[in-house]
Amino acid sequence: MAAITLIEAVNAALAYELEHDQDVVLFGEDVGKNGGVFRATDGLQKKYGEDRVIDSPLAESMIAGLAVGMAAQGLKPVAEMQFMGFIFPAVDQIFGQAARMRHRTRGRLTMPMVIRAPFGGGIHAPEHHSESTEALFAHIPGLKVVIPSNPSRAYGLMLAAIRDPDPVIFLEPKRVYRIVKHEVEDNGEEYPLEACFVDREGSDITLISWGAMMHETNIAAEKLAAEGIDAEVIDVATVSPIDMDTILESARKTGRVCIVQEAPKSGAVGSEIAAEIAEHAIMSLLAPIGRVSGYDTVMPYYKLEKQYMPTVDRILDEARKIMEYK
């Protein structure tokens, strides 16, 4: 057992499935010899061969469409979009084909496929490399959208995504690819999809987030604890479909909710969570639901990205404001 980063955990999970399931095949731009631009697939082609870890031509719709064709034949393709900002040509295939195939054939053809994409800001990347557009995918019935926040979840959730019989969009928060290391046992044990993780139990306020923002959210919870505020912290992890039971239970318990997301505020995953809480737990709330998010603006070039992205201080401000309601 070794301490590994999130991206090493992705690599370990991919390797585990390549090793144990002959139907698993990896492909995408630069995933083979180069091991991916972030090294997510480092060493996998060498170990599992060019037939199973395949450098594809540079065409995102083709990458997703190939996965549809291969999945219909019973393979378990794991395709990489090099950056989420380039996923849009593939949206036609993902929304119009992968998400619908099981439904439109009454279950005759299924799509056990994964589309991986690094996403999110904070690494001083060029334009189109920093957006958080998970809500677009979360909106589409037939897809599952999974976002790990740390190395052990990346490992367990990636295994689950590959083994899932339906198409999974697996979004990797690249800002935290190497920010922390976890002891992760490479034992092939998956984590459940459609399940939130409770990072910290608390009784005063529920902080809800996912992906890279879990880092700031957990720091904020510690600081709140120092102020005598006992925060419960929930990592949504699967942002579609959402495990609302865990969220509602917590909201009913604490009566105060703060949702933290890197994505723009409106029409987002956080909006849906807020709406569900309002629909099912509003009578338990002691304060209005708060949201800390990116702005409803175009993701700025990196000179302004720090001002765009939620910070620990912004989370603390919002949480304190929520706590002030009596």
Catalytic sites, residue numbers: 129
**Locate tokens 């082609």: which residue?**
45
The residue (of 126 and 165) whose beta carbon lies closer to other proteins is: 165
> Cα separation of 160 and 44, whole Å?
19
The residue (of 96 and 188) whose beta carbon lies closer to other proteins is: 96
Q: How many CA atoms lie within 13 A of 162 on its CB side?
A: 31
Q: Which of 110, 203, 284, 311 binds other proteins (CB under 8 A)?
A: 110
Q: Count of residues for the chain? A: 326
The residue (of 4 and 143) whose beta carbon lies closer to other proteins is: 143
Q: How many CA atoms lie within 13 A of 26 on its CB side?
A: 34
| 174 lines the binding site for other proteins (CB under 8 A) | no
| 324 lines the binding site for other proteins (CB under 8 A) | no
| 276 lines the binding site for other proteins (CB under 8 A) | yes
The residue (of 272 and 318) whose beta carbon lies closer to other proteins is: 272
The residue (of 10 and 196) whose beta carbon lies closer to other proteins is: 196
| 243 lines the binding site for other proteins (CB under 8 A) | yes
The residue (of 101 and 285) whose beta carbon lies closer to other proteins is: 101
Q: Which two tokens stand for residue 238?
A: 């699967």
| 242 lines the binding site for other proteins (CB under 8 A) | yes
Q: Which of 78, 117, 244, 322 binds other proteins (CB under 8 A)?
A: 244
**Cβ 134 vs Cβ 146: under 8 Å:** no
**Cβ 139 vs Cβ 272: under 8 Å:** no
| 49 lines the binding site for other proteins (CB under 8 A) | no
The residue (of 212 and 251) whose beta carbon lies closer to other proteins is: 251
- Site pattern 20..39 for other proteins (x: CB under 8 A): -----x--------------
| 228 lines the binding site for other proteins (CB under 8 A) | no
> Cα separation of 29 and 91, whole Å?
17
> Cα separation of 187 and 169, whole Å?
23
| 101 lines the binding site for other proteins (CB under 8 A) | yes
Cis bond before residue 241 (omega within 30° of 0): yes
Binding range to other proteins, per CB under 8 A, among 51-59, 171-179, 202-210, 298-306: 51-59
> Cα separation of 240 and 134, whole Å?
9
| 56 lines the binding site for other proteins (CB under 8 A) | yes
> Cα separation of 78 and 313, whole Å?
38
| 183 lines the binding site for other proteins (CB under 8 A) | no
Instruction: Mark residue 78 as left, alpha or beta (left: phi above 0; alpha: psi -120 to 50; beta: remaining).
Output: beta
Closest CB 125 distance from other proteins, rounded Å: 25
> Cα separation of 238 and 118, whole Å?
16
| 68 lines the binding site for other proteins (CB under 8 A) | yes
> Cα separation of 55 and 78, whole Å?
12
Q: Which of 323, 325, 217, 306 lies closest to 270, judged by CA?
A: 217
Q: How many CA atoms lie within 13 A of 284 on its CB side?
A: 20
| 186 lines the binding site for other proteins (CB under 8 A) | no
Binding range to other proteins, per CB under 8 A, among 36-44, 139-147, 201-209, 255-263: 139-147
> Cα separation of 29 and 49, whole Å?
16
Q: Which of 18, 70, 145, 196 binds other proteins (CB under 8 A)?
A: 70
Footprint of other proteins on this chain (CB under 8 A)?
A: 25, 51, 56-57, 59, 61-62, 65-75, 77, 89, 92-93, 96-97, 101-110, 141-142, 144, 164-166, 194, 241-245, 276
